[in-house]
Structure formats: C-alpha cells, structure tokens
Amino acid sequence: MTTTLHPAKPTAKIQMRDVESLVRERIESGKYEAGGRLPSERELCEELKVHRRVVRSAIQVLEREGLVIRQPNCRATVRSLNSQDTPHPTQNSGPKLQLSRFVALMMWHGDPQEEGGTGQQRIFWGMNQTLGQAGYHTVFLDLVEMIGTENEHADREATHLQYALDQGFGGIVFYCYSYYSNRELLRKVAKKIPLVLIDRSLPGVEADFVGVTNRQGMYEATNYLIGLGHQRIAYVTRSEPVNTVQDRLQGYLSALLENFDPGYYEMVISVPSTDNAAWPALDAILQSPPELRPTAMVCVNDFEAFRMAERLAQAGLRVPEDISIIGCDNVITKLPNGLGLTTTAQPFEEIGIEAAKLFLRRTGDRKAEMTQVECPTRLIVRESCRAI
C-alpha cells in the first residue's frame, strides 16, 4: 500500500488522515521498527510540510489503535506486537489497553510434526494479510500447551476470552477445544465484539463460522479407494461429538452407501487418544485372516493415519502393500516408513482470509445475518494407497 501526500492546501482533517496513514504504513513495513522511537514531531512536520498539531493528532489516533506508546515529554515509541510485549492473559496486565485494532486468533500453536509451517501459522498468515490491508493487526493467543481433555482446556479458554474483552480487542477468531464449556461466556463475547468461530461450530452461540467441506472431502477420499478396487475400507476416528468429526464420518458412510448394497461392509474403528493405551478392537481386526481384514483405511486426520501406520508395522503389515491409508488435513506428508501420505488437504490460509472477511463484515454491520463459510478441501494423492 502506498500513501501519497497532497500538498495543495488540503483541510486539516484530510492532512491528519494522510499523516496517520503514512506513519501507519511505515510501522507496518518495518521502516519504523518495533520498540524504536518515531521521528520527533518537528522532524515529521518539516518532512511532510504540515502543522505540528496535525502530526500530534495523527499520533494520538495511532496511540488509541495501540500501534504506538507515548510517555510525557518523550517521543512516541512503536509498540512491539510480539508475545513478549503483549501482556499474557494469566498475568496482572494492569489498566485496560486501547487495542481496538488488534484481532485475536485463539487456538493451539500446532504440532511440531507438521511440515512447512503448522496449519495454525497458515491461518494466521491468511488473517494477517487481509486484516493488515484494512488497518488491523492479528495477535496469536496460544490456548493450550498440548491437546488434552475438555476440562483441561475450559479454564484456559475462559481466561483468554475474558482477557480479550478486558484488553479491548477489536474481535476474536476462535477455535474451541472445550466443546461443552464456556457457552455463556462466548455469547457474552459475541454481543460485545465480533466473534468468528473456525472449524467447530457451537450450538447456542450465535457467531459467524468458517469451516471446510469435511463431509465432501471424506466422501471423495473413500470414493478414491473404491475406484482403486478396495471393498473392505475401514474408517479410523476419535470419539468426539464435534461437527468436524461427525461430518467426516458421514462422508465415509455416504460413499459406501452409494457404491455398495445397504448393510455391506462398514467398519468404524474408534481409537484411544494415547499411544500407550490398549487397542483391542484394532488388534483383533488386524489379526483376522487376509480375506476378512480391511484392505484400506480412511483416518479422521493425519495424526491418526501416522499412528495407524505405526500400529500396522508393529503387527507386521505393510503400507500400502497390505493396507492402504488416507489421512485428512495435509499437515503430515510422510508416514513412518517414509512413504508420502495420501490425504484430504485443508486450505488453511483461505480459512484465515475468510475469517478476516467475516470479522470485517461484522464490524461494518453488527446486525447482519450470521454467515457460515465452507472452504473447499482437495484430495492429494501420494504413495500410501495402491490399487487392488
């Protein structure tokens, strides 16, 4: 974005907006570095050929937006947007800050197994790209140390949500882990500031929502295996009542129903959340004769596909020679044996872009009808599947 100053005697109001836009642009581009001081008011006046009160008014606007910090008798300092300079939600952060141009992305930071940047990072990039063009700034608030139980997440999520309200954030984009908790608090948040939910919709909470075509994606993945000649296809999932998990299961079942007679081979395997837990149902299936066990598996996500490949290796079975595997999300690209994992990819950056658009739409019209957006998934074929 390039800001041009027009010297032909504009009004003071227009001058102030031009100066404000120019200084903001220099902050966002890094010309005025985070933590560094702005030029003095006199220097800016001489450079931009404007009155000192115009520069002062522009800096006051940037201070209210949270981009700069001013102390008495000192030059304004560019606020750093990294986590060290943003008070942590669990700390006593003192008086309320004016952060109306900050939008919080609340979710887990992602798993180190993910390659090429986590899905969470890519959502952040998509949001920041879109919001930056509109003069907003995305702040990442990490919700969990690691994925755990509903109760383990509930308190931390409540703390972060209340923090965003108390600190005057302009809005929140939220990925919920404690599915049944904090509904009343979320309703309170949605009434006060724009709230956009991603991946998991929450019944009873009126908020804009961005998800992906989970059902269609799993339907296409299962159909791909059927096209390769597989008829005994198992579905590996987690016992979670969230819409994402259930939609993916329905995609698998729809593909079977469309291609086979009703009641024909259907096998849904619910696996435990920890690696060291016993998997008796799976072990019994894998010990079945070759003509009875599945020839392919569709997994609810890439992490389960990776874990399943490890269990198959322990049972002396090979991927894809004995059992083909498909994952979902495209965050893990290789299995333990080094083969590429066929998977259904989520468009993470597009999710971030759409969430930012819904936030901007809601800021423009708080009474607008709630909107749900589904970003399209796509099947990525790698070596973990073979034809029968």
- The percent of the chain in helix, strand and coil, each rounded to the nearest 5, is 40, 15, 45
Instruction: Give how far the C-alpha of residue 102 lies from the chain's centroid of Cα atoms, to the nearest Å.
Output: 16
Task: Note the pLDDT of residue 8.
Answer: 38
Specify whether the CB–CB gap between 325 and 319 falls below 8 A: yes
Peptide bond preceding 241 in cis form (omega within 30 of 0) = no
**How confident is the prediction along the chain (388 residues), in pLDDT tens digits per residue?**
333 444 333 344 456 778 888 888 888 778 888 778 889 888 888 888 888 888 888 887 787 667 788 766 678 888 764 434 455 565 554 444 444 789 999 998 877 667 667 889 999 999 999 999 999 999 999 887 666 666 677 888 999 999 999 888 999 999 998 888 889 999 999 999 999 999 999 989 999 999 999 999 999 999 999 999 999 999 999 878 789 999 999 999 999 999 998 767 789 998 877 666 677 888 888 888 988 899 999 999 999 999 999 999 999 999 999 999 999 999 999 999 999 999 999 999 999 999 999 999 999 999 999 999 999 999 999 999 999 8
Tokens in use for 224?
């791909």
Task: Note the pLDDT of residue 70.
Answer: 75
Reported for 365-369, long-range contacts at CB under 8 A and 24+ positions apart, including other chains, are 366/194
DSSP structural state of residue 38: P
Reported for 140-143, long-range contacts at CB under 8 A and 24+ positions apart, including other chains, are 140/83, 140/104, 140/105, 140/109, 141/89, 141/104, 141/105, 141/106, 142/107, 142/108, 142/109, 143/106, 143/107, 143/108, 143/175, 143/177
Domains in the chain: boundaries: 12-78, 102-212+348-376, 214-346
Backbone angles phi, psi at 107, to 5 degrees: -170, 180
- Say which CATH superfamily domain 214-346 falls into: Response regulator (3.40.50.2300)
Query: Under CATH, which architecture does the 12-78 domain have?
Result: Orthogonal Bundle (1.10)
How far is 295 from 83, CA to CA, in rounded Å? Answer: 48
How far is 386 from 65, CA to CA, in rounded Å? Answer: 55
Domain 102-212+348-376 and domain 214-346 have a common topology: yes
By DSSP bridging, strand 324-329 and strand 296-299 are parallel
How far is 296 from 293, CA to CA, in rounded Å? Answer: 9
Backbone angles phi, psi at 168, to 5 degrees: 75, 30
* Fold annotation for 102-212+348-376: Rossmann fold (3.40.50)
Tokens in use for 176?
């919920």
